[in-house]
Amino acid sequence: MKKYKTSLTIMRAQPFHMGHESIIRQMLDESENVYLLIGSAQESGTDRNPFTYAQRRQMVENVFPSESRLCIKPIADLYDYKRWANYVIANLGLTPDAYYCGDDQDKELFQAIGVNTVEIPRDIIPISASKIRETGDLSMVSPLNHNLITQENKMTLSKPHEIPISARIAARTDNYDIWEYPVVLPNGKAAIYETCVRQDAALVLAEQDGQIVLTRQIQRKGEKPRYCLLGGMMNPGETPQHAAAREMLEESGMASDDWELLGGVRHSNRVIWSDYFYIARNCKKVKEPKLDDGEQIELVRVSPEKFMNEILMSDGFREGCLKSLLIKKPSAEDIQSFCKITTAKTKAR
């Protein structure tokens, strides 16, 4: 018989390595069901948190591909440490029988709310995720994840999208910084490149009475209205979930006590920013909307089916990058249709 019915641990897993793996295996040996919260889920593309939540979840699932007793969920950072334990339990949706932790402060916080704690010895496997990120040494990472991490390292370890040390600010507004920096072109000539860095955004799929609440917005005089998610740019120092809740309240007057992070999309061509997507369930109207000067927003309620089949797939939907989080791979019909399109011109020649 297992020691615990449910157990919980929290890992950033940047990247997921054999030390993390050994902890989860211990929990599976000692518990009927194991919950893993992947921390700092709102962050990606930084030195400390290069991998997205989706990538880190995939690393875990690659090692535990058919383990039905392992439940993985995201959790964003909370910058109020005294509330951390209650915040974790609220995000998890249940109180576990045991919390596996390697931090004394964490241990005290969870014991204070009546949760049994199991200390994780730091010397189980002497391994550091930060050293893996710094050196690229994958000897302590499961071979099942080497390809995923190597592909990502081309972006994170070599940092092609970071602003170079030689860059200088050319222009600055409340939400945008324009950086200039010298580069050497393939032909050996010198040139000046510019990169724009803008504030990250938090966006919400809001559910109310089984319907998805969207907006139809006109952002410039004379343009056609577009379907948009509730949300907007984060304020400096604001966490993504705080920004999502604030923007939803301002634009719709609604609040929710059931939030889930879907994931993030990093945009990193000549304009760099991240979009964080949340689901807010059981939304309730608590006040009248408070729109910014000049905003023209109409709230629209649609069924989840209409949102997926019509709005998400339309050119007029502003947050089209959400498709990459909701649609994992094309269907057989999509592939067959694509093949017909690509061969049609060849046959006609």
At 157, the pLDDT band (50, 70, 90 cuts) reads very low
76 neighbors 56 (Cβ within 8 angstroms): no
Q: Answer whether 0.85 is exceeded by the pTM.
A: no
Name the phi and psi angles at 97, rounded to 5.
-75, -25
Task: Report the mean per-residue pLDDT for the chain.
Answer: 84
Tens digits of residue pLDDT in 188-203: 899 998 888 888 899 9
- Mean pLDDT computed over 86-105: 92
* Residue 125 pLDDT greater than 70, yes or no: no
Tens digits of residue pLDDT in 272-316: 888 889 999 999 999 999 887 777 889 999 999 999 989 998 888
* Residue 238 pLDDT greater than 90, yes or no: no
- Mean pLDDT computed over 152-157: 38
Task: State residue 165's pLDDT score.
Answer: 64
